[in-house]
Amino acid sequence: MARILLIVGGGIAAYKASELIRLFRKAGHAVTPVLTAGGAHFVTPMTLAALAESPVYTSLWDLKDESEMGHIQLSRAADIVLVCPATADLLAKMAAGVADDLATTLLLATDKPVVVAPAMNVRMWLHPATQRNVARLKADGVTVMDPDDGAMACGEFGPGRLPEPEDIFQQVVALVSVRPELVEGLSLATGSLALAGHHILITAGPTHEPIDPVRVIANRSSGKQGFAIAAAAANAGARVTLIAGPVALPTPGGVARIDVETAEQMAAAVEAALPADVAILVAAVADWKVAPSPVKLKKSAGPPALTFTANPDILATLAARPQRPRLLIGFAAETENLVANATAKRTAKGADWIVANDVSGDVMGGSHNQVHLITAAGDEAWEAGTKDAVAARLIDRIIQELA
């Protein structure tokens, strides 16, 4: 059971917050609604209170509320904060750190993950000011969902529609599911169940390091190998948390997915997902980042001089933590001296196993892989196969190891 603080902004999509409350309540989660002054033009406190079976908070200056539950406490009592719908105005205030009403004060005071589901006119969404605010919020660690595309209430067409309530529900549940006590029945165990009762943490895909609001430093990782391992682990009955960089892949069944963009966000999501029995770090994490410009760099200013600083090494950090998973597995992407480099990486990073792949061909982005498994006992060359086959074999080995 998760406690969700739901901030309802002032837009025509506010009525969909009611549908969302129904979804959360049906799944056994608690919702505390906070209605902005704008939101109250579209939906009444009475509707939200009745559906949420909870008091609805509207004003910072309501002294009764303040004596019963201070705004700081209100923001901390939740497991997650959801802003739905998030208007252009709310996004701008959040990005600037403005706190001039109850909703924005809560957003500034909270220490919990924040998810925003934007809904606004297409021009307002595409406006550089809004895009800049969204980039800022993402860099601050806020999960900003992409609005849906389509016909809008105002008669225009394009991105800006509120994402489907079901999708918002899934995103919130995925983010809170890193705390297993919050979500019941999330492990949709299928298949052999040999990994039932085990929590497996997987990173996959590339990371994107922003240069400015539109440009990123990226790499060719598709996420296919990591997603295949997540699917195989879920099939074996494990509870799987998959932390994915920007990839275009569907979430395997029974897997709780958390989408991140940067290496720092991935490191934070890994941290939040602990403890885990096994961690398999498949992601091609960017080793370096730059301090992103808040505005688009103009071509007329000439080629920028980018100064790189190091990103955290997620694998090495995890290996050194007291909460180190019992079995810690890294990957090694090499273009030369595959086994020697991967063997050195195993020791240097403190991993139990390294899955080494030669990425000089089309392994990154492709559907096939040929790997070596490096353990303390030495090196095993596995025959080439699909990424699904490599995943199945790795999960098999993990089952043997844990037995």
User: What's the CA gap between 118 and 84, in Å, rounded?
Assistant: 7
The H or E element spanning position 396 is: helix 387-402
For the CB of residue 245, give the shortest distance to ligand CTP in the complex, in Å: 10
When the beta carbons of 52 and 354 are compared against ligand CTP, the nearer one is 354
∠ CA 24-25-29 to the nearest 5 degrees?
Answer: 70
Other C-beta atoms closer than 10 Å to the C-beta of 111 total: 9
Among 384, 382, 385, 311, which residue's Cα sits nearest to residue 353? 382
Please indicate whether residue 84 is annotated as part of the active site.
no
Site residues for ligand CTP, 198-237, by CB under 6 A, read 203
Stretch that binds ligand CTP, among 5-13, 99-107, 281-289, 361-369 (CB under 6 A): 281-289
- In the complex, minimum distance from the CB of residue 327 to ligand CTP, in angstroms, rounded to a whole number: 13
Q: Which residue matches tokens 């969204």?
A: 134
Q: How many CB atoms lie within 10 A of CB 368?
A: 15
Closest approach of ligand CTP to the CB of residue 307, in Å: 18
Q: How far apart are CA 180 and CA 349, in angstroms?
A: 28
Query: Closest approach of Cβ 316 to ligand CTP, in Å?
Result: 7
Name which position in 137, 138, 330, 353 contacts ligand CTP (CB under 6 A): 330
Count of CA atoms in the C-beta half-sphere (13 A) of 45: 10
Q: Of 102 and 283, which has the nearer Cβ to ligand CTP?
A: 283
Q: Between 103 and 351, whose beta carbon lies closer to ligand CTP?
A: 351
Residues 282-321 that bind ligand CTP (CB under 6 A): 283-285, 287, 311, 313-315
Rounded Cα–Cα distance for residues 204 and 227 (Å): 7
Alpha helices in 117-248 (DSSP H): 122-126, 128-139, 165-176, 224-235
Residue tagged active-site, from 153, 154, 214, 348: 154
Half-sphere exposure of 305 (CA within 13 A, CB side): 0
CB of 261 to ligand CTP, least distance (A): 14
Residues 6+ apart with CB under 8 A from 375: 346, 352, 353
Q: Is residue 21 within the footprint of ligand CTP (CB under 6 A)?
A: no
Figure out which of the listed residues 332, 364, 373, 395 binds ligand CTP, where binding follows CB under 6 A. 332
Question: Facing residues of 255 across strands?
Answer: 240
Phi, psi dihedrals of residue 395, rounded to the nearest 5°: -65, -35
Among 263, 269, 273, 395, binds ligand CTP (CB under 6 A): 263
For 193, the 3-state DSSP assignment is: coil
Out of 21, 88, 102, 333, name the contact with ligand CTP by CB under 6 A: 333
| x-marked contacts with ligand CTP along 73-112 as a string, rule CB under 6 A | ----------------------------------------
Beta-strand pair 327-334/278-281: parallel
Identity of the residue, 157 or 308, whose beta carbon is nearer to ligand CTP in the bound complex? 308
**Cα end-to-end span (Å), the chain:** 31
Minimum CB distance to ligand CTP smaller for 4 or for 283: 283
CB of residue 310 vs ligand CTP: minimum separation in angstroms?
8
Q: How many CB atoms lie within 10 A of CB 31?
A: 23
State in angstroms the smallest separation of the CB of 39 from ligand CTP.
41
- Measured from the CB atom, the residue of 67 and 323 that comes closer to ligand CTP is 323
- CA 403, CA 398: separation in Å to the nearest integer? 8
Binding mask 369-388 for ligand CTP (x = CB under 6 A): --------------------
**How many other CB atoms are there within 10 angstroms of residue 34's CB atom?**
26
Decide whether 4 or 342 has the Cβ nearer to ligand CTP. 342
Query: What residue has token string 């919702």?
Result: 31
CB of 222 to ligand CTP, least distance (A): 14
Q: Give whichever of 311 and 343 is closer to ligand CTP, judged by the CB atom.
A: 311
DSSP state of 141: T
Applying CB under 6 A, the span of 2-10, 174-182, 278-286, 320-328 interacting with ligand CTP comes to: 278-286
The residues carrying an active-site annotation are 154
Which residues of this chain interact with ligand CTP, rule CB under 6 A? 203, 263, 281, 283-285, 287, 311, 313-315, 330-333, 345
